[in-house]
Amino acid sequence: MRRVTARDVTAMKAKGEKIPVVTAYDYPMARLADEAGFPVILVGDSLGMVTLGYDSTIPVTMDDMTRHTGAVARGAARALIVSDMPFMSFQAGADDALRNAGRLVQEGGAHSVKLEGGEPVAETVRRIVEAGIPVMGHVGLTPQSVHRFGGYRVQGKAKEQASQLLRDAKALEEAGAYAVVLELIPAPLSRVITSRLTAPTIGIGAGPHCDGQVQVMHDLLGLYGDFVPRHTKQYAQLGELISQALGQYAQEVREGVFPTGKQSFAMDESLLSELLDD
Ligand code: KIV
């Protein structure tokens, strides 16, 4: 079974195949996502919130992304691994961006990078693509700009903003992006953008018309406290299951019920007597 490539992902749109994408941040979850058949696994900078406990993606560093990308790449044998470029790893200029994208591929084992922004980053996208690294774009609510947006709000509701988003997505495609994430934009707008691009759109909170969908693993599985974003459907409540299992383990240790002989290792009794006689 060969590895999925960025070209395969673009071709899925032409074939009318929907593209399911999920995030992963570590080896075991990457293995499970790969075994579940996801063609694309995103090492999102959402790891800052769901695995590192920050309240935004802004503190996430290149070291964080490189380490977690490595864990995911070791866990997934077939999926295309996309690594997010964290805040300030590409905004300061294309040379910087190219070096950092290269690090995610060379040290982290990513097959592609994703970066946030539209027209203003199109030239940077072009430079990275020309260097041989496939780029996934990301427009709409771009969480690294949360302070500019004044919160995690739906983007593109007004006419001027909507047509800017269309120009942004087009600029990314023209710069060579093989797919574009549309985050938190109205469904009718994502339908228009999807119909105008050859590259697939991957939606999150962008309605059903996108060519693919991406969700944060912890949101899907109930692993991120009580908060469930409106655009998510919870397919399992693993948080509750884990709390219950851990509670039972702690109780059994307190009560002396765990471990039993089954979890212990035997030793030759005569050796033990010799030891005691010494
Ligand atoms: O960081 C992330 O997980 C993302 C997706 C939500 C698109 O960028």
| CB-defined site of ligand 1, < 6 Å | 23, 42, 44-46, 84, 181, 183, 204, 214, 216
User: 260 C-alpha to center of ligand 1: Å?
Assistant: 44
- Ligand 1 atom closest to the CA of 46, numbered from 1: 1
Q: Which of 181, 201, 217 to mutate to test the pocket of ligand 1 (most atoms within 8 A of CB)?
A: 181
From the list 107, 174, 183, 269, the catalytic residue is: 183
241 contacts: CB under 8 Å, gap ≥ 6: none
Beta strand ranges found along 130-216 (DSSP E): 135-140, 179-183, 201-204, 212-215
Q: Which residue has the tokens 């203003």?
A: 120
Give the mean model confidence (pLDDT) for residues 118-128: 98
What domains does the chain contain, in order, with CATH numbers? 6-236 (3.20.20.60), 241-277 (no CATH)
**Contact call for residues 162 and 196 (beta carbons, < 8 A):** no
The pTM assigned to this predicted structure is: 0.96
If one residue of 26, 51, 57, 72 were mutated to test the ligand 1 pocket, choosing by the most ligand atoms within 8 A of its CB, it would be 57
Please say if the pLDDT value at position 278 is more than 90.
no
Residue 227 has pLDDT above 90, yes or no: no
For 68: left if phi > 0, alpha if psi spans -120 to 50, otherwise beta; the answer is: alpha
Rounded to the nearest 5°, which phi and psi values hold at 96?
A: -55, -45
User: Token pair for residue 24?
Assistant: 């992963």
Which of 62-66, 138-142, 180-184, 269-273 bottoms out in mean pLDDT, i.e. has the lowest? 269-273
Share of the chain above pLDDT 90, in %: 95
Q: Is 183 a catalytic residue?
A: yes
Write down the pLDDT at residue 225: 84
Position 244, amino acid = Q
pLDDT of residue 149: 93
Among 68, 77, 62, 81, CA closest to 21: 81
16: three-class secondary structure by DSSP: coil
For residue 145, the CA-to-ligand 1 centroid distance in Å is: 13
